[in-house]
Structure 1
Amino acid sequence: MKKIIVMTMICLPFLVAAQQNKAQERQQKAAEKKAKIEQLIKQEEEGALVFQKQSTFGLNFNSDGFGFTYEHGKYKTIKKTNLWWLSLGERKDPKQYKQTNTFTGGGGAVVFFGNSYVYGKQNNFYYLRLGFGQQKLLGAKGSKNGVAVSAIYGGGLSLGMLKPYYVQVPDNSAQGTGTKDIKYTDSTASTFLDPTAIIGGSGFGKGLGEIKFVPGATTRVALRFDYGRFRETISALEVGINAEFYSQAMPILVGVNDQKKFFFNGYIALQFGRRK
């Protein structure tokens, strides 16, 4: 015990000194960062471009699905940045929902079987968007501690991708008594739309080789809230709307939107990236 106490007494000053050094290093880094930001603010007030370009990755939570966006921007003036972006995601019908088949076993227990599936879903609707536009700083130029608010606007091309949605049903043909995968067609409609005949959803890979590509156009309008505009790292929240028009109908659920070509949604996106 005495040896432990002695060793503790010997090591304690070194531990305290190490903690003090770390605290001093943190304070020094904070002071350097503050000085750099103040220098950038001064340069911008004199009319200089303090950054040349930016790149961000975004996670979009849409009112009808989700998506991912890569965006690249080139600063043209203090308030204007030219942008191009690439987005990939999936649209879902607001009426669709997943369900799982059940039956009551011995003792009244509810037993689940089969994969979950969306009843009446005809296609998975994916999109790939390429857009061009601008980011415009609104109001004041912003401060080192404030939140810079910018408007985002632009448009471009959209490629819609319809992947047939498959479900598993019993295979009662002469060749077997297992299961088979079917999609919605005129010949399978009665079985496809019979919930008592569906075992569950097919795997994601089913239908990949049958994707139908449909060209379209897209527009985007948003507000971006940038936390720390003079920092090299970007952490921003974006709230906006997207609109798309396709050259032909993009059905998702059977009988619900068979003739729908125009799609409109709202979204919230988390943006992360860097400025240079």
Structure 2
Amino acid sequence: MYKSFVIGLLLFLGLTTGVSAQGEEQSREFTWGINWNTNGGIIGGASIRSSRPVPDKEKWQQFWGLEIVEVKHPKENRLLGLDGDVFVLGKTNYLFVARPEYGRDYTLFRKAPESGVQVNAVVGVGPSLGLLVPYYISYDYTEYRNGVQVGPTDIRVERYDPITQHREFENIRGSAGFLTGANETDVNLGAHLRTALSFEHGRYQENIVGVETGFLFEAFNKKLIMLPAAENYKVFTSVYLTVYWGRRK
């Protein structure tokens, strides 16, 4: 059933590409955004979006977009390592998600030509690529006896294994950073659906500044393991806020 859903979704996206290619070339919009969401950190991620009117439908626009966010486990526990660097206790993978998307906007309230606020209802759908990047730490294997070092300094950057290898979290000096394990990324296929309201303000017709707030539902083909000792999920939901800006031509 899941495979059929994904195949149907991809066929739908292909058909919408053909529709978009037949659309009018006027009033294109291009925007950039910064995202905050209930599954992310201080800044959840970033997005880009290209929009144009739907032919013969005055209040409708269609868009293509791409959003990239980091998803954090709700039970992450951040600690300070020996070097003063922060690490997440028991974490084995980062999760980044890339979301190519096709969607449509419907204008609920149109702004005046020179100023005002325009309110749009937004719906978007597309595949999700869940990128599990191994979590690496800097671990201190140096031998001590009665608090005195008795061997050479032995600090190694290794993939974090909190269950069988790195049980003594007091010896963790800090996180090695997500780029350390980037070449071991595990790609997982999923799909997402968003519904939102956007509030757009611009003093001039060619400038775009606004916020979009809404709900996102996302599902993957298997559980994505971030914290082995906690419950992990293959279905995620979040509430988000995106601040965006751009231009219309």
**Partner residue in 2 for 1:26:** none
Gaps (5+ residues) in structure 2?
Answer: 1-23, 144-150
1:196 to 164, 170, 174: 170
- TM-score calculated relative to the size of structure 1: 0.71
Structure richer in helix, relative to its length: 1
* Equivalent pair of 1:82/1:135 in contact (CA under 8 Å): yes
Q: Superposed, which structure 2 residues align to 1:18-167 within 5 Å?
A: 52-65=27-40, 66-76=44-54, 77-101=57-81, 113-138=83-108, 140-144=109-113, 145-167=115-137
Q: Does 1:183 align with 2:159?
A: yes
- Report Cα offsets for 1:177-226 as digits up to 9, x if no partner: 411123244xx624434322322211332111111000110111110001
* Equivalent pair of 1:170/1:197 in contact (CA under 8 Å): yes
Q: Kindly tell me: are residues 154 and 229 of structure 1, through their superposed partners in 2, closer, same or farther at Cα, counting changes over 3 Å?
A: farther
Larger deviation, residues 142-151 vs 62-71: 142-151
* Equivalent pair of 1:71/1:85 in contact (CA under 8 Å): yes
Quick one: distance in 2 between partners of 1:61 and 1:97?
Answer: 20
Q: Kindly tell me: are residues 193 and 223 of structure 1, through their superposed partners in 2, closer, same or farther at Cα, counting changes over 3 Å?
A: farther
Structure richer in strand, relative to its length: 2
Aligned residue identity for 1:181 = V
- Report Cα offsets for 1:216-260 as digits up to 9, x if no partner: 1011111000113861010011111211111111111222233x1
Aligned residue identity for 2:158 = I
1:100 Cα offset (Å): 0.9
Secondary structure class of the residue paired with 2:222: coil
1:97 Cα offset (Å): 3.8
* Equivalent pair of 1:137/1:149 in contact (CA under 8 Å): yes
Structure index of larger Rg: 1
Aligned residue identity for 2:157 = D
Larger deviation, residues 208-217 vs 220-229: 220-229
Aligned residue identity for 1:271 = Y
**Partner residue in 1 for 2:248:** 275
Gaps (5+ residues) in structure 1?
Answer: 1-48, 103-112
Q: Percent identity of the aligned residues?
A: 30
CA RMSD, Structure 1 to Structure 2 (Å): 2.4
Quick one: distance in 1 between partners of 2:211 and 2:60?
Answer: 18
